[in-house]
Amino acid sequence: MSTFAETSFLCSTYRADAHSSIAIPFLQSLRITIGVSTLVLFEFRQSLRLQNFHHAHNDVTGTPLTESQQMMSDLQQDLATGQIGINPVDWPEVHELAESLSAKHTPSSGHRFADILHVATALQIGATEFLTFDIGQRTLAEAEGLVVPL
């Protein structure tokens, strides 16, 4: 079984939110490497940087820099130990799959750009499970035959 995680799963794993109580034990219970793409990692890191920006301009919003640095450190530790692994991706093939998914599903279900790319990436690498807390991605992943266990 190949498991691919998208950004909402990583956010819930490394930052306390409404889904952390599900994500963290799930990750800890697995004995396999959870795959991500470089796009997922960039989106996660960019999200933290944006939250730092918001916090710097209004300390009741966003995420403090020290908290973000800890989240990035925790992710790096999981990458170093193999808990999380970067899947090699054929980006031109992902883009072709994404175009196909968009034409097939967006007119009836209204999927967003990044959601389609993450599901297309999971399909391209041969994943069978897709980890997400995003409803749109769940719907699309399940429509394409991926198991969404959370």
- Low-confidence stretches of the chain (pLDDT beneath 70): 1
At 1 the pLDDT is: 61
pLDDT, one tens digit per residue, over 135-150 is: 999 999 999 999 999 8
At 31 the pLDDT is: 81
At 114 the pLDDT is: 92
Provide CB contacts within 8 A for 125, sequence distance 6+: 2, 4, 35, 37, 87, 88, 89
At 25 the pLDDT is: 87
Which ranges in 6-134 belong to alpha helices (H)? 7-14, 20-29, 38-57, 65-81, 91-109, 113-125
At 108 the pLDDT is: 93
Give the predicted TM-score (pTM) of the model.
Answer: 0.90
